Amino acid sequence: MKTPDWILEGYDSKADYEKAKGIKKEKKVSKTFKIRECPKCESDEVGIILSNSDSEEESNTGKQWKCRKCGWTGKDIKEKELTEEELMEYLDKKGEDVA
């Protein structure tokens, strides 16, 4: 059995040792997927408005969204973060073919 390096080098905790050495841990264990939904009809058929004659500044930053199903436009889009398993269930319910 070997004494850990953080003790041998005189650090008070393993976290202090990792911080001093610049060691970062992986936080996400599994891959996650983001889904954007319309706040009005909860459809995932939304996209960014690329040009808008009223306010071109906002449209160029990608902050205006439009729902292709109900026609809603705005900034307050719903975002869901799903694991791979949750994504597969979501696609099954939606009726999408999964390879």
State the number of CA atoms in the 13 A half-sphere of 60 facing the CB. Answer: 5
Domains of the chain, first to last: 1-30 (no CATH), 31-99 (3.90.1800)
Query: Tell me, what's the pLDDT at 67?
Result: 92
Share above pLDDT 90 across residues of the chain, in percent, rounded to a whole number: 10
Nearest to 32 by CA among 81, 96, 90, 85: 81
Write out pLDDT tens, residues 46-78: 988 886 555 444 445 557 889 999 988 988 888
Rounded-to-10 torsion of CA 53, 64, 45, 33: 150
pTM over 0.75: no
> pLDDT-derived band of residue 98, with 50, 70 and 90 as boundaries?
low
